[in-house]
Amino acid sequence: MVSRVIPVKPFDLVIFGGTGDLARRKILPGLFRRFIAGQMPSDARIIGAARSDIDAQGFRDMVRQAVSEFGGTLGDKALAEYDELDSFLAQLDYVTIDAMGEQGWSELRSKVRKELVNAFYFSVAPSLFGDIAERLKKHGLADEDSRIVVEKPFGRDLSSAQELNETLASFFKEKQIYRIDHYLGKETVQNLMALRFGNIMFEPLWNANYVDHIQITVAETVGVSGRGAYYDKSGAMRDMVQNHLMQLLCLIAMEPPSQFSSDSVRDEKLKVIRALQPVAPHEIVRGQYDATETTLSYREDAENPRTFTESFIMMKTHIANFRWAGVPFYLRTGKRMSNRASEIAVVFKALPHSIFDSNDHGRNVLSIQLQPDEGITMDMTIKEPGPGGMRLVNVPLDMSFADALGPDADDVPDAYERLIMDVIRGNQTLFMRGDEVEAAWAWTDPIIEDWKARNDVPKPYDSGSMGPLDSQALMQRDGRAWRELKK
Tell me, what DSSP letter sits at residue 176?
G
Tell whether residue 62 is a contact of ligand NAD (CB under 6 A): no
309 SS3 class: coil
Cis peptide bond upstream of 153, omega within 30: yes
CB of 160 vs ligand NAD, minimal distance in Å:
14
Q: Among 41, 51, 134, 234, which residue sits at the site for ligand NAD (rule: CB under 6 A)? A: 51
Residue of 425, 223, 408 whose CA lies nearest to 334: 223
- Residue closer to ligand NAD (CB basis): 17 or 434: 17
CB of 467 vs ligand NAD, minimal distance in Å:
23
Note whether 385 and 160 are within 8 A (CB): no
Q: Among 63, 95, 97, 149, which residue sits at the site for ligand NAD (rule: CB under 6 A)? A: 97
Q: Among 28, 50, 112, 161, which residue sits at the site for ligand NAD (rule: CB under 6 A)? A: 50
Size of the site for ligand NAD (CB under 6 A): 22
Residue of 167, 176, 219 whose CA lies nearest to 343: 219
Stretch that binds ligand NAD, among 50-58, 183-191, 245-253, 331-339 (CB under 6 A): 50-58
Q: At what angle do helices 28-36 and 415-425 cross, to 10 degrees?
A: 70
HSE-up of residue 208 (Cα within 13 Å, Cβ side): 11
Tell whether residue 109 is a contact of ligand NAD (CB under 6 A): no
- The answer to whether the Cα torsion of 431, 434, 436, 438 is positive or negative is positive
Tell whether residue 69 is a contact of ligand NAD (CB under 6 A): no
- Residue closer to ligand NAD (CB basis): 97 or 485: 97
Tell whether residue 303 is a contact of ligand NAD (CB under 6 A): no
Q: Among 17, 155, 228, 235, which residue sits at the site for ligand NAD (rule: CB under 6 A)? A: 17
From the candidates 139, 213, 244, 361, give the one annotated as an active-site residue. 244
* Vertex 288: Cα angle to 344 and 158 (nearest 5): 65
CB atoms closer than 10 angstroms to residue 425: 13
Tell whether residue 247 is a contact of ligand NAD (CB under 6 A): no
CB of 68 vs ligand NAD, minimal distance in Å:
18
Instruction: Give the whole-angstrom CA distance, residue 235 versus residue 241.
Output: 10
CB atoms closer than 10 angstroms to residue 450: 15
Stretch that binds ligand NAD, among 96-104, 136-144, 185-193, 446-454 (CB under 6 A): 96-104
Tell whether residue 100 is a contact of ligand NAD (CB under 6 A): yes
Residues in the chain: 487
Tell whether residue 243 is a contact of ligand NAD (CB under 6 A): no
Instruction: Give the whole-angstrom CA distance, residue 138 versus residue 129.
Output: 14
Note whether 31 and 62 are within 8 A (CB): no
CB of 99 vs ligand NAD, minimal distance in Å:
3
Instruction: Give the whole-angstrom CA distance, residue 329 versus residue 316.
Output: 6
Q: Among 54, 98, 202, 483, which residue sits at the site for ligand NAD (rule: CB under 6 A)? A: 98
Tell whether residue 22 is a contact of ligand NAD (CB under 6 A): yes
- Residue closer to ligand NAD (CB basis): 125 or 404: 125
Tell me, what DSSP letter sits at residue 338?
S
Tell me, what DSSP letter sits at residue 283?
G
CB of 424 vs ligand NAD, minimal distance in Å:
19
Q: Which of residues 115-174 bind ligand NAD (CB under 6 A)?
A: 123-126, 128, 151-153
Verify whether residue 244 is a known catalytic residue. yes
Tell me, what DSSP letter sits at residue 454?
H
List contacts with ligand NAD (CB under 6 A).
17, 19-23, 25, 50-52, 97-100, 123-126, 128, 151-153
Which residues form the catalytic set?
244
